[in-house]
Structure formats: C-alpha cells, structure tokens
C-alpha cells in the first residue's frame, strides 16, 4: 500500500498548473500527481496543459481533469527552414502558456518534460510563478535541463539523474498501480481481456505509441507461443493495428492471442500477465517493478540511451532482462519466452528481486511539495492578478 498521509491538507485553496504531454511517459505521472493533489486538498484548482497532437487530449479529460492546449514547438532534428521558425513558434506558445497561467491564477507550475513544458516553464519565469520539476527518465530531456536552472524544486525517478538540485522521490504512480495486488487481481483482469484464467500470459507493449520491432517479433512468434500454451495480450499502439491483427485461439492448447490498440487501465494488463516484453520507458520500468511483474526490456535503439539507463536498476537486481532491439526477433521470442514462462522458480526469483526498487509514494510526496510551494506563492502575492 502507498504510505498514508500524516494529515489532510490544511492550507488555503491554491491553483496548480501541470504541464506534460505527448506520450504516456509524461501524461501518466501528470495524471497521478493531479489525482493526488485533489485527494489531499480537494479545493485545489488543477489545470493540465498540453498540445493538440499528444496523448493528453484523451487521457487527461478521461481522468476528469481540465485541459488547456498551447501550440506545440517541436525541435527539428536537422538544420533547415523549420529551424528558423522555432523562435516565432516558441514565442507564440509561451504567450499562450502565460495566458493559461493568468486565467487560472496559477500559484505554481509543475512540469514533467516534453514539448509543452518548455513554454510553460518560460511563461512561469516571466510571470514570477514558481516552478516545480519532475524528471521521469534516468537521463533528462532538454526541457527539464532548462527548468532545473529556474528552480530548486527538482525531483527525479531514478538515482543519479544529472540535474541540479535534484531530489530522488521515484515516479508518481496512480494509486490503482501503486496499490495493485497482482495475484488477487489476476482472475478478474484476465476475464476483462477474455483471456483463459489458467494459461501463462505474455504482455507485449512498445509503449503508448507502440514499437515496430517489438510488434513484428510478437506477431511472428504468436502462433508458436499459442502452440506452447502461452496466451498473448499484445498492445500494438493506436496507429499500428493491421487488418491481420485479429483475436485467435489455439484449439489444442486453449491459449489466446488478443491484439488491442491501447490499454487505458494498465494495471489490468499487468495483473493479467506473468511476463512482459516491452520498451523501457520510465513508466514501464517503474510500474512493472512496483507491481512485481518480471520483464524483458527492449530499449529504443535511437536517442541518448535513456531507456537502457532506465532499465539498469531492475536488470542489475535480477528482476528483468535487457534485449537489444536488433535481437528482438520472432525467433528469440518463440524460443526464450516459453523457457522463461516454463520456469516458475526463476519468475518467482525475478519478482522477489523487484521488491523495494520502486517507491510507491512519489505522487504523494510531489503533491505535498507542490501544495507547499503554491501556498507560499499565494501568500506572497496575495492572489493578485498577474
């Protein structure tokens, strides 16, 4: 269970703006923190800021939160005309973010990184609104590296994240995940996906957007896994579902392949599974560690190597395996997954190794610090219009 609160929030009602979007890596901790803010201090005005192109347009309203949109400011990967447009786009986005901060009477801006956080950070600095930063990944992105220079309230999910003034608190998790009892929830979770109750089950997910290499390997190995009596819950990503991705059951073993585009309640997917094959974004690594689900992590092969760094604490402890993207093939999955799922003692040892890696109270810690910063800001400004 998550750590209980020492007491209900007794401060005055405040206004909190939370920025983060694009993928579940940013939206999930944002939603978890927002929900904890409202649980601790129900009078809090909570507003999320995102862009029209991100996952936040669906998951934030679905969580019952107010969402404000600002123009996205993507950074081109190569020099060209788009690079010349960045200053103008950034200015427009900062202006839109400043408008949100003014209209909501923001007492604090909390950022989780990504495209949308930079304009919110800069607008907050312009208006004198204090900033709180949470970095999900072991290696920080550009937005949070910038923001760490603007505030001493910087929090991280992993030890050793290179950000100034950083305090390790873990990753804010929704209570449905932080408090999940996988064995107790297994039967109902498998029923929710119409999976057989007694079949070993592999969960496959390339993150909220999916991953081509992982999807290809799982598709290619699916029939072999079914023949081995292993059911597969395959989360493909909303844009990756093909006409050939259909539910099917092996008549001899009763194992079932269940392809889905997206899972909103990932705690159900975790509870249904005995093993996961997936990318190693911060959310996946720390959520599976929290619920005790052994995993095979396949780091995204591009970028700054943050995903392999994310997985390192789990892999080093023996709670997961690291598999290169190039090695993630249908042949590997067909051969190695049945071997893993056929070794209950090894799976049990991996689950045991996951104990204590992830903190369950990060959302509470971040929410309480945010409320404290906001209360100080409200007191200093007397809630005068900015």
- Known binding positions: 23-25, 137, 174, 208, 307
CB 148 within 8 A of CB 164: yes
For the residues of 176-236, what is the DSSP string, one character each? Answer: HHHT--HHHHHHHHHHHTT--TTS-EEEEE--TT--HHHHHHHHHHHHHHHHTT-EEEEE-
Q: Which residues pair with 133 in a beta bridge?
A: 111, 154
- DSSP 8-state class, residue 78: S
CB 208 within 8 A of CB 23: yes
Please state, in angstroms and rounded to a whole number, the distance separating the CA atoms of residues 194 and 190.
6
Binding residue ranges for UDP-N-acetyl-alpha-D-glucosamine: 23-25, 137, 174, 208, 307
Please state, in angstroms and rounded to a whole number, the distance separating the CA atoms of residues 112 and 30.
7
List, in sequence order, every beta strand (DSSP E) within 89-217.
108-111, 131-135, 154-156, 166-168, 201-205
Please state, in angstroms and rounded to a whole number, the distance separating the CA atoms of residues 42 and 293.
33
Structure tokens at 144: 């949070």
Best CA proximity match to 286, nearest among 197, 194, 158:
158
User: Cα 2–275–31 angle (5° rounding)?
Assistant: 40
For the purposes of burial, counting CB atoms within 10 Å of the CB of 126, is it exposed (0-12), middle (13-18) or buried (19 or more)?
A: middle
- Sequence-distant (6+) residues with CB within 8 A of 296 are 275, 276, 277, 278, 320, 321, 323, 336, 337, 340
- Sequence-distant (6+) residues with CB within 8 A of 318 are 349, 350, 353
Best CA proximity match to 194, nearest among 259, 108, 253:
259
Best CA proximity match to 137, nearest among 279, 243, 260, 325:
279
């Amino acid at each position: 269970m998550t750590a209980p609160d020492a007491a209900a929030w007794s401060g005055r009602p405040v206004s909190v703006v939370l920025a983060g979007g694009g993928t579940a890596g940013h939206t999930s901790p944002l939603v978890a923190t927002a929900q904890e803010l409202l649980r601790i201090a129900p009078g809090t005005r909570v507003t999320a800021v995102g862009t029209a192109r991100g996952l936040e347009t669906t998951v934030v309203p679905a969580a019952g939160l107010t969402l404000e949109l600002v123009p996205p400011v993507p950074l081109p990967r190569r020099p060209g005309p788009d690079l010349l447009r960045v200053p103008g786009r950034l200015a427009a986005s900062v202006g839109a973010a400043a408008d949100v901060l003014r209209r909501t009477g923001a007492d604090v801006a909390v950022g989780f990184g990504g495209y949308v956080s930079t304009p919110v950070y800069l607008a907050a600095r312009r208006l004198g609104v204090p900033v709180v930063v949470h970095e999900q990944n072991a290696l920080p992105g550009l937005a949070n590296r910038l923001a760490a220079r603007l505030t001493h309230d910087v929090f991280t999910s992993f030890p050793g994240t290179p950000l100034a003034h950083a305090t390790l608190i873990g990753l804010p998790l929704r209570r449905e995940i932080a408090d999940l009892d996988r064995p107790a929830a297994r039967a109902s979770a498998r029923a929710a996906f119409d999976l057989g109750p007694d079949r070993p089950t592999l969960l496959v997910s390339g993150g909220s957007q999916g991953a081509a290499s992982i999807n290809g390997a799982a598709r290619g190995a699916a029939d072999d896994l079914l023949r081995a009596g292993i059911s597969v819950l395959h989360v493909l990503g909303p844009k990756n579902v093909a006409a050939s991705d259909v539910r099917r059951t092996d008549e001899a073993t009763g194992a079932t392949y269940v392809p889905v585009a997206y899972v909103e309640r990932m705690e159900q997917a975790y509870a249904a599974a005995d093993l996961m094959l997936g990318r190693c974004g911060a959310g996946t690594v720390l959520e599976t560690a929290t619920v005790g689900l052994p995993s095979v992590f396949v780091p995204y092969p591009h970028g700054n190597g943050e995903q392999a760094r994310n997985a390192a604490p789990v892999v080093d402890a023996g709670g997961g395996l690291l598999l290169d993207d190039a090695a993630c093939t249908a042949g590997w999955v067909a051969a190695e997954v049945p071997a893993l799922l056929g070794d209950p003692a090894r799976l049990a040892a991996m689950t045991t190794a996951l104990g204590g890696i992830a903190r369950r109270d990060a959302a509470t810690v971040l929410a309480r610090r945010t409320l404290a910063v906001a209360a100080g800001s409200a007191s200093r400004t007397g809630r005068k219009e900015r």
